[in-house]
Amino acid sequence: MSVRVRAGHGLGAALLALAALWGIGALGWATAMAVEAQRELQNALAVAARGLARGDAAAVWSLVGLSALYGVAHAAGPGHGKALLGAAAVAGVERPLGLAGLAVSAALVQGLAAVAIVYGGLALLSLSPMAAMGADGRIFAPIGYAAAGAFGLLFAWRGAQALSRGKAACCGHGAHGDGHDHGRVHPHRWRERVALVVAVGARPCAGAMIVLAIAWMADAPWAGVAATGPMALGVAVVTAAVALGGVALRGASLVAAGGAQTARIAGGLQIAAGGMLFAFAAVGLA
């Protein structure tokens, strides 16, 4: 059995296993476990924040470690950042190292946005902690979903273009590959990277907003800021893992296709990734 065939079988088996886990509710169970872990970590973070407010220096390390764990637990659930970067990975927008960098950058932007929104609302607008946290769902979540939907349409459009060029090449019109010049860095690459980070950061980290509100109520607002950094890194770890999983899926699909079918499969993956991202955004906006 050839390497390509084995790769195709492995990809199919992985997708079937994922579908089976989803069908029997195992993934829902995992999400419920993550939510329960978040609740327990929130309580522990509140204790650490109160300890810092009392001047307990040892509570600093508790806050940092718990914040990183909370970031991982919070990111284990569904989110538009993972959907965006995962779709970008499947669509072949960026190399693995670049995707990891985007995940870290986006998580830090989300954390900074959370600090600005929560503490800005509490200190400048005299909002209650609940009102400050509620701004996420009322204002920023729709913006984040709209940005994700826009990228979904962009990925799908590029995929359609790639398929069209592939058909033209088959008919003797001279088009080639997936339409990308891999020999140089296009000027639009940096603009697209920044746009991806902004699109993810358009919705601040909800977990950070909760912890910031907890720290404010514990009279230790600076502890909330200190917790945001490690929490963002915890989120980045999960987001990067999702993106790298998308890279692996794309690579396995292209290896399984091989030869003249590679360009068509690449275009099809872009359309599929874009369509799923747009559907995710539409559900979020509904």
pLDDT digits (tens, 9 = 90+) for 254-263: 877 776 677 8
Contact (CB, 8 A) for 194 and 28:
no
Question: What is the value of pTM for the model shown?
Answer: 0.79
123 domain-assigned: yes
pLDDT band at 153 (very low <50, low <70, confident <90, very high): very high
**How many domains does one find in the chain?**
1
User: Which pLDDT score is estimated for 181?
Assistant: 42
Q: State percent of the chain over pLDDT 70.
A: 80
pLDDT band at 10 (very low <50, low <70, confident <90, very high): low
7 domain-assigned: no
164 domain-assigned: yes
User: Which pLDDT score is estimated for 24?
Assistant: 43
8 domain-assigned: no
More confident position, 170 or 226: 226
41 domain-assigned: yes
User: Which pLDDT score is estimated for 2?
Assistant: 54
User: Which pLDDT score is estimated for 102?
Assistant: 94
- Specify the DSSP class assigned to residue 260: G
> Would you say residue 167 has pLDDT above 80?
no
User: Which pLDDT score is estimated for 121?
Assistant: 87
26 domain-assigned: yes
12 domain-assigned: no
Query: How many Å apart are CA 261 and CA 276, to the nearest integer?
Result: 22
The tokens describing 15, both together, are 């997708």
Burial 160-194 (b: 16+ CB within 10 A, else e): eebbebbeeeeeeeebeebbeeeeeeeeeeeeebe
110 domain-assigned: yes
pLDDT band at 174 (very low <50, low <70, confident <90, very high): very low
Domain containing residue 220: 20-180+187-285
Neighbours of 261 (CB within 10 A): 13
Report pLDDT digits (tens) over 11-48: 545 544 554 444 444 556 666 777 788 788 878 887 88
> Would you say residue 216 has pLDDT above 60?
yes
Report pLDDT digits (tens) over 54-109: 878 777 788 888 888 988 888 877 788 888 998 999 888 888 899 999 999 999 99
